[in-house]
Amino acid sequence: MSCKKIKKQLLLFLDNELPEALHQEIQHHLAGCSSCSDHLKKVASIWECPADVETIEPSPWLWTELPRSYPHRKTGRIGLPVSGNR
């Protein structure tokens, strides 16, 4: 397999998502090709870095801002308007 074809499959290789035979073929190629193995290291440095992408916390008001057709907090019933609590 050519270096070009190998490189296109590197993300799948890194994620262990290639068929076993193909995975081994690439592994074998990498062992003998410094250009591809160097390239793999660079790809891995981007792809395999910790996926600690920013997560956000819901605003505290998110629940209180829910539409009034939601469960009414005073009555404990769903769908009652605020003024409907008698």
Partner 1 sequence: MQDHELIEKITTGNATAFQELFDRYKKLVINVCYRLVGNRDEAEDLTQDVFLKIFRSAKHFKHRSKVSTWIYRIAINLSLNHLRRKKYQQWFSLDDNAPSKDSVFVELVSTDCPESEFNAQEQEKIVLKAINELPADQRVVVMLQRYDELSGQEIAAIVECSVGAVQARLHRAKKNLYQKLLPYVKEI
How would DSSP label each residue in 35-68? Answer: HHHHHHHHHHHHHTS-------PPPGGGTTTS-T
Any residues with CB less than 8 A from the CB of 54 and at least 6 apart, and which? Answer: none
Q: How far is the CB of 44 from partner 1 (least distance, A)?
A: 10
Q: x/- string (CB under 8 A) for partner 1, residues 46-75? A: xx-xxxxxxxxxxx--xx-xxx-xxxxx-x
- Considering the rule CB under 8 A, would residue 25 count as an interface residue with partner 1? no
Instruction: By CB under 8 A, name the binding residues for partner 1.
Output: 7-12, 15, 17, 39, 42-43, 45-47, 49-59, 62-63, 65-67, 69-73, 75-79
